[in-house]
Structure 1
Amino acid sequence: MAGQALAQSSEPIAVTSHGRLRGQRLANCMVFRGIRYAVAERFQPPRASEPWSGIRDALAPGASAPQTNANPPPGPPYVILAQLPRPAGAKAPAPLPENEDCLFLNVWTSALNDGRKRPVMVWLHGGFFYGGTGSTTDGSGIAGRGDAVVVSLNHRLNAFGYTHFGDLAGGEFAEAGNVGMLDIVAALRWIRDNIAAFGGDPERIMVFGTSGGGMKTSFLMASPPARGLFKRAGVQSGPGLRFMERDAAAAVTERLLREVGLTSANAADLAKLPMARLLAGYHSVAKAMKPSRFIDLPCFAPVIDPKWLPHHPFSPKAAAGATDVAMLIGCNAQEMSFFWGNDPEAFTLTDAGYRDRVRTFAGRRTDRLLRSYARAYPNATAARRYLQAFSDYSLALPVTAQADRHAHAGGTTYAYRLDLQSPALGGKLGALHTLESSLLFNTPEAGRALLGPGDTPVRLARQMSEAWVRFAATGDPNGTDLPHWPRYDAKSRATMLFDRETRLAYDPNALARRKMAPLLGA
């Protein structure tokens, strides 16, 4: 009975290959939460879970991956969203449960047994490869329209998902450096085999994500075992050009061993450490190995592997197989203010401070870069020019490179940029990182703290979410609600700009591409 549903029940009951699941009716759709898609021992690949008899409740999210630092650094969080004012009387959300047993997914759908096959949109959460959760996703704004099925999922993270043993431990943990990604592949296989039970089309699956979710999507595009499990990819503000080399990843593991009092001779004992101790060791190593820029992954990230990732996805070119997947890729105009929650000086830079900060990434190119941004933004303050230059360097530059390489290799590529200026915190944030999230999910009310009042967020949420659904369904985001959106190529670089007036532009990231190309190094 897999792939069917029990329509007679007053409660939504889906019949999967493992057993029956009871979901919950929402105002505009149904949701099934906390569905186990696999099980796994620490550092080991996931394996299929056991079937069950009877009806199992799918009413609450499963655990998120272990990630919370029990001894966080002093001062405000680096993510500036913590500074947004809460509505009067609103309480901080309760912390989500975390556990190594975290291989769960959630499904939103409008119907179970109506004969339709909707495109499937699989959301990979952000947080790079160290944090985040799919448990807070809300897919109802898309699923409630009836035009797609939405899935979010949890998988292993940080040291639990990406500790590369190399030649340590006798090969017992040969795949440990990528098990977080193996979890996602296992989830995609579960989705392929079961999504018809939720009204989805297993032949039209799109994987998409913002920030780290975009990086994970990029990995999957180049991973042979993931081939054929999805046909479209959405990479939002998360270019994945390169991942970790094996030697560098093995050196990180050696450092982790020292941190928790082990040696290479007893490296296998990492698998038996208490969860809290391993997590504390991870946080200590990660604190000492901070990335130098957004696309750098210095520790606990996916590793080049003969089976799972034979080549970097988009460096120096698109890997074999990556262009078999149609890709919609883009970023926001002023991404990096998102990360300045503990850096208030960045918003009030003098000319001297602006120059000093640009020099940290531009080196001998600093003066010519300053002149270029002065010409392009003559009325901007030094702080605003720095926000733009640093955002271009960090994200617009690698996003453009990934789009160029995908298109040059023959892939179907569409590009966008979100230019809408957030009015939050006095308007100093611009179009910051993650601003698109509630727009893509058609939940603008949930994003009002960043998006502001009025009809523009509602219109953009409709435009963007419908374009992403069309892309999931057909590989083409065009529709009557948008200007014509040509495929991207490395000559015209056609890019849809979402703003108060959505319009098409050609090569809108030209300044970063022309002036910063030698700084990419990937």
Structure 2
Amino acid sequence: MATLTTVSSNYGTINGIQKDGYSVFRGIPFAKVPTGALRFAPPQKPESFKEAYDAFTFRSIPMQHFTDPDGLYQKEFYDNPDFHFPISEDCLYLNIWTPAHTASEKLPVAVWIHGGGFEHGFSTELEFDGEAYAKKGVILATISYRVNVFGFLYDQKQEEELGFSGNQGLLDQIAALEWISENIAAFGGNPDNITIMGQSAGAMSSHVLTFSPLATPMIHQAILQSGSIACFPSPMVFTKAQAQAVTDKFYELCGVSSIEELRRLPAEDLLDKSDELMALYPSLPFRPVVDGHVLPDTPDVLTKEGGMAHIPYLMGVTKDDLFIPEGASHREGGFFTAAVSFANACRKQNLPVYLYEFCHDLPGSDDGAFHSSELWYTFGTLNRCWRPMTAEDHALAEEMVTCWTSFMKQGDPNEDVKEEWKAWTEDGGFIKTFA
């Protein structure tokens, strides 16, 4: 039976819900609503609560359209009506799951950044949940950030005014990380043991943050699932000139010439034009920008110079992942080769890197171990999935949750495991297979 639980944050009292062995706090604002003059602007710290804040319900998700109603991911993750949420610019919220009665325990903390190609996705998708982590003694926070044109619009004139432009979505992630770092002790968390983690564009985002001086002081481990900012094989970032070319095309589609004019247009109109723009590009038109602020230089240069956060890393792919050449194996794909390249660079810095491959074909279809398929297992949410999961699936999920939470606790996935997972950097090539 659910009961009320309360914490005292720097912004005031927050009420959550205590369940069987864990507590959940939903929809906590970590920034002001990014509308009006704050549209396309860096996030601003939220106001303090005038009275106790009831964190009982998930909030709106970032502006986006679901453009493939008959696709694999629609059925896999988005068909459940209990996880349908309205879209809104008012989307900068986070959610926290904690073990019950943890106020003074200083537990490890994981911060999840969702994927979606920097174009869509949200922190409250069906497959994301922190119950399994909480029951392993880890606090999980899932965070939202602006996507598509709302989160990754670069403008040279804005840079002249602010000193930087673009990367609004990344700045949202950093703002959420700052909120967590400053307040998680009230929830029983240890701000000196935070793991940043993500999948696909969320992994790319997490990877960017491990290079960013704005974020690295708050990051102590990183988990990158099917994503590296150094992928494809060229980095998944834009120069300022490349980003400005995308912006100029967007202005043309909207019939405007400035951010100020865009701020006066309805959000739905901007979203429609954002969809039009995305249809014009074979690859992602909205992506991180090498701005000298969030991202000091290209990932390649920073990697060669040892400019990554000097922390443990856990990285991997799925067997039927994206960006695998026809007829090739997943170990020849863009995600995996980028992970190996980064692991080799970390080896030179004496940083532990643990590599994995998820090779388990999901039951119920012939889609195999597709991109994102491991999420049911790494979050232990198989009971939410439409597929006929077996005892073997549940055992695999338990193994993966144990490895992930062990890594979050100590930077090493080998606590309470049957088989040692050797670090790539120590063994010279060990890859853990989940099958």
TM normalised by structure 1 equals: 0.76
- Give the aligned partner of residue 360 of structure 2: 420
1:398 corresponds, among 323, 327, 338, to 338
How far apart, CA to CA, are the structure 2 residues paired with 1:394 and 1:274? Answer: 38
Per-residue deviation, residues 459-496 of structure 1 (Å, max 9, x unmatched): 11111111111111111111232312221139721111
How far apart, CA to CA, are the structure 2 residues paired with 1:101 and 1:490? Answer: 46
Shift of 1:323: 4.0
- Give the aligned partner of residue 370 of structure 2: 432
Shift of 1:309: 0.4
How far apart, CA to CA, are the structure 1 residues paired with 2:195 and 2:252? Answer: 41
Residue 46 (structure 2) pairs with residue 56 (structure 1): no
How far apart, CA to CA, are the structure 2 residues paired with 1:85 and 1:179? Answer: 26
How far apart, CA to CA, are the structure 1 residues paired with 2:276 and 2:318? Answer: 31
Residue 261 (structure 2) pairs with residue 261 (structure 1): no
Secondary structure (helix, strand or coil) at the match of 1:23 reads strand
Secondary structure (helix, strand or coil) at the match of 2:390 reads coil
Unaligned 5+ segments in structure 1 are 1-8, 292-296, 340-357, 362-385, 500-522
2:92 corresponds, among 87, 98, 103, to 103
**Does the Cα contact within 8 Å between 2:3 and 2:17 map onto a contact in 1?**
no
**Does the Cα contact within 8 Å between 2:376 and 2:385 map onto a contact in 1?**
yes
The one-letter code matched in structure 1 to 2:260 is A
- Give the aligned partner of residue 272 of structure 2: 280
Inter-CA distance 205–319: structure 2 relative to 1 (3 Å threshold):
farther
Secondary structure (helix, strand or coil) at the match of 2:422 reads coil
**Does the Cα contact within 8 Å between 1:43 and 1:175 map onto a contact in 2?**
no
How far apart, CA to CA, are the structure 2 residues paired with 1:413 and 1:170? Answer: 36
Inter-CA distance 173–163: structure 2 relative to 1 (3 Å threshold):
farther
Inter-CA distance 59–84: structure 2 relative to 1 (3 Å threshold):
closer
Secondary structure (helix, strand or coil) at the match of 2:4 reads coil
**Does the Cα contact within 8 Å between 1:124 and 1:213 map onto a contact in 2?**
yes
- Give the aligned partner of residue 471 of structure 1: 407
Inter-CA distance 120–170: structure 2 relative to 1 (3 Å threshold):
closer
- Give the aligned partner of residue 24 of structure 1: 17
Inter-CA distance 301–327: structure 2 relative to 1 (3 Å threshold):
same
Secondary structure (helix, strand or coil) at the match of 1:66 reads coil
Inter-CA distance 170–176: structure 2 relative to 1 (3 Å threshold):
closer
Inter-CA distance 319–140: structure 2 relative to 1 (3 Å threshold):
farther
Shift of 1:114: 5.2
How far apart, CA to CA, are the structure 1 residues paired with 2:250 and 2:400? Answer: 42
Shift of 1:43: 1.2
- Give the aligned partner of residue 44 of structure 1: 41
2:382 corresponds, among 434, 444, 449, to 444
Shift of 1:432: 1.2
Inter-CA distance 208–284: structure 2 relative to 1 (3 Å threshold):
same
Task: Choose 244-253 or 130-139, whichever is displaced more.
Answer: 130-139
**Does the Cα contact within 8 Å between 2:136 and 2:405 map onto a contact in 1?**
no
| 1:183-332 alignment runs, 5 A limit | 183-241=172-230, 242=235, 243-263=237-257, 266-291=258-283, 297=284, 299-314=285-300, 317-318=303-304, 320-332=306-318
Task: Choose 19-28 or 92-101, whichever is displaced more.
Answer: 92-101
Inter-CA distance 13–489: structure 2 relative to 1 (3 Å threshold):
same
How far apart, CA to CA, are the structure 1 residues paired with 2:392 and 2:152? Answer: 41
- Give the aligned partner of residue 333 of structure 1: 319
- Give the aligned partner of residue 177 of structure 1: 166
- Give the aligned partner of residue 126 of structure 1: 115
**Does the Cα contact within 8 Å between 1:239 and 1:398 map onto a contact in 2?**
yes
2:421 corresponds, among 470, 481, 485, to 485
| 1:152-163 alignment runs, 5 A limit | 152-163=142-153
Calculate percent identity across the aligned residue pairs: 28
The one-letter code matched in structure 2 to 1:284 is E
Per-residue deviation, residues 324-348 of structure 1 (Å, max 9, x unmatched): 1211000111124xx9xxxxxxxxx
Shift of 1:391: 7.8
1:141 corresponds, among 132, 138, 156, to 132
1:460 corresponds, among 365, 390, 396, to 396
- Give the aligned partner of residue 369 of structure 1: none
Inter-CA distance 109–393: structure 2 relative to 1 (3 Å threshold):
same
**Does the Cα contact within 8 Å between 1:11 and 1:23 map onto a contact in 2?**
yes
The one-letter code matched in structure 2 to 1:66 is M
- Give the aligned partner of residue 512 of structure 1: none
The one-letter code matched in structure 2 to 1:153 is I
Larger radius of gyration: 1
How far apart, CA to CA, are the structure 1 residues paired with 2:427 and 2:18? Answer: 48
Shift of 1:94: 5.9
Q: How many residues align?
A: 423
The one-letter code matched in structure 2 to 1:443 is T
Between structures 1 and 2, the one with greater helix share: 1
Flag as ranges the 4+ runs of structure 1 deviating above 4 A: 83-86, 90-94, 387-391
Shift of 1:245: 1.1
**Does the Cα contact within 8 Å between 1:318 and 1:406 map onto a contact in 2?**
no
How far apart, CA to CA, are the structure 2 residues paired with 1:315 and 1:284? Answer: 33
How far apart, CA to CA, are the structure 2 residues paired with 1:397 and 1:180? Answer: 26
How far apart, CA to CA, are the structure 2 residues paired with 1:395 and 1:321? Answer: 20
**Does the Cα contact within 8 Å between 2:350 and 2:425 map onto a contact in 1?**
no
TM normalised by structure 2 equals: 0.90
Inter-CA distance 85–408: structure 2 relative to 1 (3 Å threshold):
closer
How far apart, CA to CA, are the structure 1 residues paired with 2:136 and 2:80? Answer: 32
How far apart, CA to CA, are the structure 2 residues paired with 1:160 and 1:185? Answer: 16
When the two chains are superposed, the root-mean-square deviation of aligned CA atoms in Å is 2.6
Inter-CA distance 315–181: structure 2 relative to 1 (3 Å threshold):
same
Inter-CA distance 177–91: structure 2 relative to 1 (3 Å threshold):
closer
